[in-house]
Structure 1
Amino acid sequence: MTDQPNRETTEPTPQQEGFGPSPDKVHVPVLPQAVLEALPGGEVILLDGTVGAGGHAALLARRLTGRGRVIGLDRDPAMLELAARATHGLPVELVHASYTEAREVLAARGLTAIDGLLLDLGLSSDQLAWTHRGFSFQNDGPLDMRFDTTQGETAADLVAQLDAEQLADLFYRYGEERFSRRVARRIVEERRLAPILTTQRLATIVRRAIPGRRGPIDPATRVFQALRIAVNRELEHLEEFLGGMAELLKPGGRAAVISFHSLEDRKVKHAFRNDPRWTVITKKPIVATPEEVAANPRARSAKLRVAQR
């Protein structure tokens, strides 16, 4: 999948593109106080590489002065629509682009380096709530899972095209699913009967393929995570960005990255620790307090790591 830099939010809205009406924002940003403490305020330029519904960007923008601003990027046009509402009247510029395109986005604005950047790698609660996007199996919807619905293969495409060995490898690598081969074989058997096009059908197939009693985590969770990561090339994008992230910052600039599963967190930890350009600020990742988890359960798996150029 090839991203196109500088696709501004003047592009067609989600309604015009056939996404259906966007619901009200339900996402609550995780670790808000820790993010504010990690990144500078005042007359600075900040990049929010995964702006989502705009929660973190709005918090950061309210501390800016003078010509300071936040440049917010996202691959999902529907999320940018929500971010525009959340940041209305604040010094925030929104751009339809992947964070891997940050260098091009900054260069187009005459910027060679910035004062701080944030990545929140989690899936938004809004995206999960939109059944027509196919991220969740709680309700039935098309098996899509693309962050950017204007391009790329869907999860249904991967389920239809990959052979059993490729599917098993995908589920094990990105979902750490120990029954990956059983699940992959069952999918191949079922798709011979009829295409697997919806979230509920795939979830049902996965549940039937995994033996044993069901625990607190739905058996389909790891397979859905793996497909979403593969569809959006999340780990490839993260690894690419981490390698050049220091070059985006001025000396003394800060980078803050929030991850939600071990595959991401390991990459962030190693990038900060193994690159001599970074001074690690968080020796251990910052996690949510019990009070925040009680108010926002999604925060329970969030880990924030911070480093300084």
Structure 2
Amino acid sequence: MTTEFSHISVLLQESVDGLAIKPDGTYIDCTFGRGGHSGLILNTLGDNGRLIAVDRDPSAIESAQRFADDPRFSIVHNGFSNLADIASDLAVTDKVDGILLDLGVSSPQLDDASRGFSFMKDGPLDMRMDTTKGQTASEWLMHADVEDITWVLRTFGEEKHAWRIANAIVDAREEEELTTTSQLARIIKTAAPQREIKKHPATRSFQAIRMYINSELEQIENVLVAALDVLKEGGRLVVISFHSLEDRLVKQFMKKHSTGKKVPRGMPIKEEEIQKGKKLALVGKKLKPSKTEVSENVRSRSSVLRVAVRLAKE
């Protein structure tokens, strides 16, 4: 049996409010995690409502058993980047009233040393969201070129000492196999100048490797595109981001699809023609957690919530 780790859902009420739930609506929680958001959605739905949860983490699927007796609930073991296929298989394409995305790594994943996401506890250097497939961080680091490692650290971690750290990793693996989080953290700490007091020197590198191993940004791009087809007219897209790269993707996507056609100034074009092509309308401004929430859950401090509604389809 999988050990349960505590998890506090970030921006819980705000995100469910953003879905503007209809009692008999159909909703998809693309990142079930430990079911905090799903639980509140189910509490808000009526008897004829439907909630489809998605997660690629086997431990999340196991955790969903507590909702097994609720006929309104079902869960799919899959990555949310496959949303289009999931919706097609369940015959809900163009029929969904709301999609929720809670991006990034969850607290249970960080706190479980056996997953290898954190340098705070020693564990196997795994970092896979879905432990049933794909290469581990250890396997990748043992074979990747120094240029590739540098690119990953710089691109996904915005690590200014990427080249120095990558070289240290390559040198270290010639002496011993890199299999644990403590090994990697020690290598990075030795290689990177100790100028930052607030953050451990391995913070950015661990984040970058995790994002690369799990193709996180590519997954986000895919699910956002799929959401346009899966949502019905008036359906809500609610996204919680934790990293600037994630939020930038979400912000740019929503802006792109909520802006009408760009035409040269002064061209005699009707307003309805300009508005053609708009697929989303932004709902309010971005939301950040309250001071109270941050004080109760420090991991919420970097979160950003954005909401958009699907416009009429052409």
Instruction: Calculate the TM-score normalised by the size of structure 2.
Output: 0.89
Provide the residue aligned with 1:74 in structure 2. Answer: 55
Provide the residue aligned with 1:54 in structure 2. Answer: 35
Among 22, 27, 33, which residue is 2:2 paired with? 22
Please list every run of 5 or more consecutive structure 1 residues that lacks an aligned counterpart in the other structure: 1-20
Q: Aligned-pair RMSD on alpha carbons? A: 1.3
Pairwise CA distance, 1:122: 2.4
The answer on 1:165 being equivalent to 2:159 is no
The answer on 1:228 being equivalent to 2:219 is no
Provide the residue aligned with 1:85 in structure 2. Answer: 66
Amino acid at match of 2:46: T
Deviations 1:252-278 (CA, angstroms, capped at 9, x unpaired): 000000000100000000100101201
From the CA coordinates, give the structure whose radius of gyration is larger.
2
Pairwise CA distance, 1:246: 1.2
Q: Secondary structure of 1:127's match?
A: helix
Of stretches 90-99 and 51-60 in structure 1, the one that deviates more from structure 2 is 90-99
Provide the residue aligned with 2:246 in structure 1. Answer: 264
Provide the residue aligned with 2:136 in structure 1. Answer: 154
Q: Secondary structure of 1:252's match?
A: strand
Contact 2:24 2:47 in 1 (8 A): yes
Contact 1:229 1:235 in 2 (8 A): yes
Distance 2:220 2:162 in 1: 24
Please list every run of 5 or more consecutive structure 2 residues that lacks an aligned counterpart in the other structure: 258-277
Of stretches 234-243 and 71-80 in structure 1, the one that deviates more from structure 2 is 234-243
Mark the CA change 1:210 to 1:92 in structure 2 (over 3 Å): closer, same or farther.
same
Deviations 1:137-194 (CA, angstroms, capped at 9, x unpaired): 1111100000111110110011111111110111000000000000001111111101
Provide the residue aligned with 1:194 in structure 2. Answer: 176
Mark the CA change 1:111 to 1:233 in structure 2 (over 3 Å): closer, same or farther.
same
Distance 1:213 1:270 in 2: 33
Q: Secondary structure of 2:44's match?
A: coil
Contact 2:53 2:76 in 1 (8 A): yes
Percent identical pairs in the alignment equals 40
Pairwise CA distance, 1:24: 2.2
Mark the CA change 1:87 to 1:281 in structure 2 (over 3 Å): closer, same or farther.
farther
Distance 1:221 1:308 in 2: 35
Deviations 1:86-139 (CA, angstroms, capped at 9, x unpaired): 676473211101112222222222222200000000211111111111011111
Contact 2:7 2:34 in 1 (8 A): yes
Q: Secondary structure of 1:256's match?
A: strand
Distance 1:298 1:282 in 2: 24
The answer on 1:278 being equivalent to 2:259 is no
Instruction: Calculate the TM-score normalised by the size of structure 1.
Output: 0.90
Distance 1:128 1:23 in 2: 13
Contact 1:54 1:87 in 2 (8 A): no
Contact 1:53 1:86 in 2 (8 A): no
Distance 1:163 1:105 in 2: 36
Provide the residue aligned with 2:261 in structure 1. Answer: none
Distance 1:293 1:241 in 2: 28
Pairwise CA distance, 1:77: 0.7
Contact 1:72 1:94 in 2 (8 A): yes
Deviations 1:225-264 (CA, angstroms, capped at 9, x unpaired): 0111011100011112222321110100000000001000
| Structure 1 segment 243-254 matched on structure 2, within 5 A | 243-254=225-236
Structure 1 stretches of 4+ with a deviation exceeding 4 A read none
Q: How many residues align?
A: 288
Amino acid at match of 1:300: R
Pairwise CA distance, 1:82: 1.6
Distance 2:93 2:150 in 1: 43
